[in-house]
Chains A and B, each alone.
Chain A
Amino acid sequence: MELLDKLTILTDAAKYDAACTSSGLDRNGRPGGLGSTMAAGCCHTFSADGRCVTLLKVLMTNRCIYDCQYCVNRRSNDVPRTAFTPQELAELTIGFYRRNYIEGLFLSSAVWGSPDHTTERMIEALRLLREEHHFWGYIHAKAIPGADPLLTRRLGELADRLSVNIELPSEQSLRRLAPDKSKASILAPMAQIRDSIQVSRQELAKYRHAPRFAPAGQSTQMIIGATPEDDRHILLLTQGLYDQYGLKRVFFSAYMPVSDSRLLPARQGFKPPLLREHRLYQADWLLRYYHFRAEELLDEAHPNFNPLVDPKCSWALNHPDFFPVDINRADYEALLRVPGVGVRSARRILTARRCGPLNFEGLKRLGVVLKRAQYFITCSGAFLEGLRVSPDGVLRHLVAQERPLLAQGAPQQLSLFEAGA
């Protein structure tokens, strides 16, 4: 088969994987080698669906022994099957990388033969890149549940980031839709990766040349909307993963109707839950950067996010006793809770107020979104002049601001540069 056709098939099979980040690791190029990485990551292009493309995201093969109902590559699905040879994949990566098309490789795979065999082929491709081509760009590899721990270990020494997909948010759903996988078999490699990363960090502190294991950490992803779990369940699970497995990111992927299975939502008229995915990402940001806890955002009585306002506004509206926050006195954590104040603008407020008291005019210069923040802040004890606040009015105004975004139907992906807002 032509390389072009292989690339088409194996890209098409990999596109539902949400993660495409190249962040978490700063590594300079090495003399004579090719490539470097940046801690902030780098988007090389954006596809027509508005998602960032930073890595060459392909599968090693789409031949699979499993029959997971939600997956395009399930063995019962009638699609063309193929596989890259390690040489083809290495040459493709180098050719793209030299032309600055990509930041590195994201290698995933369907399970061909056995988890061990699949992992061995992935290792061979990565070994070629690292050792023969002296490639030092970013490599994200999927660990295959069920593979020998020694093989996973080798994979982690070659890759920068490892991930194991948790696939679905609960064990019942997993049992129903992915009968070949179990919670235990997914969590085992995650724990192994966590421990190996920790050991590697300790060794690096002692010996500079100790082998580095997945230096950019591990991540995971789950499918949203194919199964009946509520937002609260998903967010608590996410928080648990961050706390217990030290993950860098948890990705959510709105379920795309790729199957006619009776266990899944019907294909006809199914709208992928993009807004829900967006709200979950917003909440995920709150967990990671804004010192929120999942229990604060959702409770038993409100197990799902309000589609009309973002989770931070929603929290603020439900906690009127916390506000107003005085910009000139509040500490960093309190500033972060104000809608319209992001990580960047909160830091700028701390810097700027050392030089003198801030007023509303100055806040605009610092990048605070006053349209949102005005209802929740005072400057030296005073609200914005001319502002009348009634609890109903605030909600109405905040909803009105979101409407243009909601009208599009498909909300925007969170980006690095808007993360602060």
Chain B
Amino acid sequence: MPNWTPVSYTYDGSFAGFLTCVFEAYLHREEPACFFAPEDSQVSLWPERPVVTHQAHAQRVYRSLSLRISPDAQALLRCGFLTCLEDRELHLWHFLRLGYAVGGRVMGMLTDSRVDAVRRAVLHLEHEAHQYKGFLRFSDQEGVLIAEIDPKNRVLPLLRPHFCTRFSAERFLIYDRTHREALFYQPRQWAILPLEDVQLSAPDETERRFRALWRRFYQTIAIEDRYNPKCRMTHMPKRYWSAMTEFRADTPPNTLP
């Protein structure tokens, strides 16, 4: 950017915090050279500016996204913040600069490297969320359904509408082990909150029975003459397997304390 001083931004790691950074950058005419969340402890070559999250400023930037760029761009940016793209804030910042410069047209500039990077990352996020809609497995623990996942991206906000309408009468919890947060749901109420750990108790009789039935179904449905492990792995990468009922064996009940 012409004559904008490069500065490294330190913020609290929230989406509102990032939007406040954008506000500050335009206010001080600074070019963010890197963004640091509290958990990063790098030292930067550029002068540092700590940014305190300011809800009103963040709101202003957020509204401007749909007014000055487009509602689609606003949605893309919101999803972009959930991705595991390296230096995602910087990529989003470049996308945003371009968006403010050219307006809604930015969503059609698919061959631009700045747009492409964000769009690709969001596709990855959406694809992962779609896969988890299928590959996630609940266990019934005294009437509450509990699932654990290890996603690369923060998929919980994308999984929420799907599981909340599908299991609207149930109570459930989906725990994201990578990002240490959980989606809690009970009828007409949900929340995504940070959570350190989930302790699962031993499965009861009914749970064991359904797991065994499912494993049997899974083993029986395959046609031996068409055995094709590579095809299975393409569609269902092995990183999902560890949490899936069909690939886990239950310890027999008598060995449990």
Contact = CB atoms under 8 A, between A and B. Distances in A.
Given A57-B221, A99-B245, A352-B108, A47 B232 contact: yes
Nearest to A91: B210
A39 B234 CA distance: 23
A363 B230 CA distance: 29
Interface in B220-241: 220-232, 234-236
Contacts of B78: none
Nearest to A11: B220
B116 to A, nearest CB: 5
Given A50-B228, A100-B147, A95 B236 contact: no
A50 B139 contact: no
A365 to B, nearest CB: 5
B145 A8 contact: no
B84 interface: no
Contacts of A257: 225
Secondary structure class of chain A's binding surface, majority of residues: loop
Interface string B130-154: 1001111111100001010000000
B222 A15 contact: yes
B223 A98 contact: no
Nearest to B167: A34
Contact of A46 (B212, B223, B224, B235): B235
A96 B222 contact: no
Contacts of A101: 137, 214, 245
Contacts of B199: none
Interface in A1-53: 3-4, 7-8, 11-12, 15-16, 28-36, 38, 40, 42-53
Given A98-B170, A99-B145, A412 B231 contact: yes
Contacts of A33: 168-169
Nearest to B246: A45
A352 B231 CA distance: 33
B230 A50 contact: yes
Contacts of A274: 226
B60 interface: no
B176 to A, nearest CB: 16
Contact of A42 (B116, B130, B147, B170): B130
Contacts of B227: 48-49, 410
Contact of A4 (B134, B139, B213, B223): B213
Nearest to A366: B110
Secondary structure class of chain B's binding surface, majority of residues: helix
A92 B140 contact: no
B111 interface: yes
A226 B223 CA distance: 17
B166 interface: yes
A408 interface: yes
A86 interface: no
Using C-beta atoms within 8 Å of the partner chain, give the interface range for chain B. Answer: 35 or more
Contacts of A51: 222-223, 226
B111 A365 contact: yes
A351 interface: yes
A15 B245 contact: no
A413 interface: yes
Nearest to B120: A365
A11 B221 contact: yes
Nearest to B174: A100
B216 to A, nearest CB: 6
Contacts of A54: 134
A64 B116 CA distance: 57
Contact of A48 (B108, B134, B210, B222): B222
Contact of A272 (B134, B226, B246): B226
Given A98-B170, A351-B110, A352-B111, A412 B217 contact: no
A412 B136 CA distance: 24
B165 interface: yes
B110 A8 contact: no
Interface string B190-211: 0000000000000000100010
Contacts of A31: 168-169
Given A98-B170, A354-B108, 5 more contacts: A29-B167, A46-B232, A48-B227, A49-B223, A98-B145
Interface of A: 3-4, 7-8, 11-12, 15-16, 28-36, 38, 40, 42-54, 56-57, 92, 95-96, 98-101, 103, 254, 256-257, 272, 274, 348, 351-352, 354-356, 358, 361-362, 365-366, 408, 410, 412-413, 415, 417
